[in-house]
Structure 1
Amino acid sequence: MRMVAVLAVAALLTVSACGSGDERRPAAPDTVEVFTWWAEGGEKAGLDALIDRFGQDCAGQRFENGAVAGGAGVNAKQELTGRMTRKDPPDTFQAHAGAELLDYIDAGQVQDLTSAYDSWGLRQAFPTGLIDDLTVNGKIYSVPANVHRANVVWANPAVLKRAGVSGVPRDLPAFLADLATLKAAGVEAPLALGRDWTQLMVLEAVLISDLGAQRFAGLFTGATPWSGADVAAAIADFGRLVAYGNADRDALDWPQAERLLIDGKAGYQVMGDWEAADLTAKGFTGYSWFTFPGNGATFQWLADSFTLATGAPNPDGTRCWLRTVASPEGQRAFNAAKGSIPARTDVSAAGLSLYQQSAMADWKSATQVPSCAHGSACSQGWQSAVNQALTAWSAARDDTALQAALVTAASRFVR
């Protein structure tokens, strides 16, 4: 990951040199600092495509890269919290659309973009359901660049073939049977796993299989209790899956776990569909994919979005960046490189990958449910509590304690 930001450090050094009590970086009227966690692979390629488009659309504005490396924004969110606390916001920052934005909205750290939606025609370009999910008390605070699918299994067909595994498992028991076959054939890690949030993705997929789409979504609205026997059964199924994973899972980020798949040390990995572009960028084209077994026609969604930060040094330039992000040209360029699909419904699928064409069709027809692991279903505080519970479970393997922690987290954060 080469594009790690040092901007905050530079800003602090500038403040120290000037001896000022104002901790904001000096205003740069022709510069837009874009804060993301897109620092490698398909994510970086997507960002680069947006930068190129921004240069065409926003003459006279200069892009400043604020990328901070770390899967799903773990490191970036920590850095962003510090910058907001010391009143040194970037012009715009990446956040997952949905409940993750509630913390920023409640803190007054992002500005209302409702008028931009009206003037740019975005209410007609984005699906009504997505607009509804983005709206908080009648206002909209971010512009989605894409839609991703979380509940996807990626496979190394060569590993499966050598072990005698064929076809797509139709349900969770069949998936567990295939994992057992891989293990018996000597595959080091039948299921490649990473740390906390990547394990949460697996748990959520299992919950969808065991509870169904409607009851799964109800876990984050209070309609479905976390204390139920069906949740307990899902936790047990989750433990059975993890048993087929790599022992160093808690030390790996998702690209490191992905390397097990590429190197033939794993048969499967549960990961969002950004993996397609990342695998291709790394020269591994011999992969296959399928929806997590038992999820049926359920599309677990997340969306990367951009905000206008309160106190942004260059609000006009930032609005030009946001308009680029929202435009058909920007969405096509970004998603073609990143491997996600446009949030807009008026962008043609022609020329996109087979996976993207398939996902665009599913987005229109499947039952849509949000993801806590990626902020569309739960706030950052809730997500953090669940990840901590999973880290504790990974060490102790106490199913009862995990369910109790999930019940406690829901009691704190359900609105």
Structure 2
Amino acid sequence: MHVNRKLAAVAASAAALSLVLSACAAGSTPGDKPSLRTHEDVTVYTWWASGVEKQGLDKLAEVFEQQHPGITFVNDGVMGGGGSSTSKEYLQTRLETQDPPDTFAAHAGAELDDYIEGGFIQDLTPLYKKLGLKEVFPKSLMDQLKTQDGKIYSVPSNIHRANLLWANPAVLEKHGLDTSGQYEDLDSFIADLETLKQAGVEYPLSVANEWPQVHLLETVLLGELGAEAYDGLWDGTTDWNGPEVTAALEDYKQLLSFSNPTRNEMEWDAASTMVVEGKSAFNIMGDWALPVYAAEGRQYGKDYVVVPSPGTNGVFDFLADSFTMSTGILDEDAARAWLETVSSKEGQLEFNRIKGSIPARTDVDPGQFNEYQKTAFESFNNDPIVSSVAHGAAVPVSQLTKITAAAVAFEKDGDVAKLQAALAASAG
């Protein structure tokens, strides 16, 4: 049976987590062994605590309990949309105090490196063979999932596209701008932001708090550098101190100047709502924002448009929400059952219909998805793929933490040289 446990103490750095910890009853006394279970439940840790993310998780849990009626889904997660530093710090505390959830959400790719090195998650390569996943996941995805030694440590529930610009065509039309929202480069985008600002649109570009700012920075780097040089930032072949990076950071500074000063207090979905309501013309965010725009009968191409972010047309900036299996759990069969549902055709269909992403499986009919998602299928299958830094595909958690700290500092001081130096140092 599942035992209710509480965390006794956390190091001084966890003071910032106090609200999260008080909201989450599940924990353990440091040193406790995992509770004995009889395949009656599976504890699943995610940051999907509200909105469409929670709806998607609930639908996946519904499919799970239909496929595995003898096992109860237990939502063991916390607040923190997008895998914020708070939710990751709390998860890390649980892993280090031997209180792991059976399975937890993490972004596929380099984000898993720290968990692998720490011995916190298990090699799932045998499960891939058992379920035949190598035959139904595309090679381009498998290349993103494999470690250098060819092992696989997570099962993706979806494929998200990060490099997207969302726009309100009514606002653009009112001010004589192209309602398609498409921009070949950042310079032309910045010029239209200036036009909107001069015309009285106070905040032409909506921006939210920490990780959405890193997300914005990522798309600016991709738009300025191109796919190959962008990839080089993460594998060491592009010089962080080069003039192209400086130019990108100057563009990033300009973009922030056109945004709302309330950004640090705003979640990503509230920034999206600013575009829906016509308070802003644009927002740069991944396709998990789709349900915000498509709600209440709003129509794609009429009430909102979504296109590749400026300068990134023909490139797919990849991330995937995926699930691991923790080490140190005694009920591995229940965890495997959850991963089976996550990877199943029905699970991927139902989850992604809600989430705005596309399935990882190639045998799910694109015709069952909306018009935006069909464009995502097309791009993923045909365009060069790069890895998202803000969402864990390009760099491990330790490096992303440094990048986020640099972005937070820059939001306060606007010092491009300092930001560039900090980003260069993060790669060391």
Q: TM-score, normalised by structure 1?
A: 0.92
Residue 7 of structure 1 deviates from its aligned partner by: 8.4
- Structure-2 separation of matches of 1:94 and 1:284: 30
Identity %: 44
Residue 177 of structure 1, aligned match among 191, 203, 217? 191
Match of 2:233, as an amino acid? L
Residue 294 of structure 1, aligned match among 297, 304, 311? 311
Match of 2:275 in 1: 261
> Is the Cα–Cα contact under 8 Å of residues 36 and 68 in structure 1 kept in the other structure?
yes
Q: Does 1:393 align with 2:398?
A: no
When residues 347 and 180 of structure 1 are mapped into structure 2, their CA distance, relative to the original with a 3 A threshold, is same
Match of 1:9 in 2: 25
- Structure-2 separation of matches of 1:195 and 1:238: 15
CA deviation profile, 1:36-89 (whole Å, cap 9, x unmatched): 111222212211221111011112000001231212111321221111121110
> Is the Cα–Cα contact under 8 Å of residues 262 and 284 in structure 1 kept in the other structure?
no
Q: How does 1:362-373 map to 2 (within 5 A)?
A: 362-373=379-390
Residue 221 of structure 2, aligned match among 207, 231, 247? 207
- Structure-1 separation of matches of 2:308 and 2:298: 20
> Is the Cα–Cα contact under 8 Å of residues 193 and 246 in structure 1 kept in the other structure?
yes
CA deviation profile, 1:222-276 (whole Å, cap 9, x unmatched): 1111111110111111111111111121222212222222222111100000101
Residue 278 of structure 1 deviates from its aligned partner by: 3.1
Unaligned runs of 5+ in 2: 1-19
Match of 1:124 in 2: 135
Segment of structure 1 superposing worse, 52-61 or 132-141: 132-141
Segment of structure 1 superposing worse, 216-225 or 44-53: 44-53
Match of 1:314 in 2: 331
Residue 284 of structure 1 deviates from its aligned partner by: 5.0
- Structure-2 separation of matches of 1:366 and 1:11: 44
Q: Does 1:145 align with 2:165?
A: no
Match of 2:61 in 1: 51
Segment of structure 1 superposing worse, 187-196 or 141-150: 187-196
- SS of aligned partner of 1:71: coil
> Is the Cα–Cα contact under 8 Å of residues 41 and 281 in structure 1 kept in the other structure?
no
Match of 1:64, as an amino acid? V
Q: Does 1:161 align with 2:177?
A: no
Match of 2:388, as an amino acid? S
- SS of aligned partner of 1:166: coil
Unaligned runs of 5+ in 1: none
Q: How does 1:242-253 map to 2 (within 5 A)?
A: 242-253=256-267
- Structure-1 separation of matches of 2:297 and 2:412: 35
Match of 1:34 in 2: 44
> Is the Cα–Cα contact under 8 Å of residues 100 and 328 in structure 2 kept in the other structure?
yes
- Structure-2 separation of matches of 1:56 and 1:78: 33
Q: How does 1:276-287 map to 2 (within 5 A)?
A: 276-281=290-295, 285=299, 286-287=303-304
Residue 26 of structure 1 deviates from its aligned partner by: 5.9
> Is the Cα–Cα contact under 8 Å of residues 23 and 86 in structure 1 kept in the other structure?
no
> Is the Cα–Cα contact under 8 Å of residues 349 and 357 in structure 1 kept in the other structure?
yes
What is the aligned residue count? 402
Match of 2:345 in 1: 328
- Structure-1 separation of matches of 2:25 and 2:134: 39
Q: Does 1:22 align with 2:38?
A: no
Residue 198 of structure 1 deviates from its aligned partner by: 1.0
Match of 1:272 in 2: 286
CA deviation profile, 1:351-386 (whole Å, cap 9, x unmatched): 211001110011001110001100000011111101
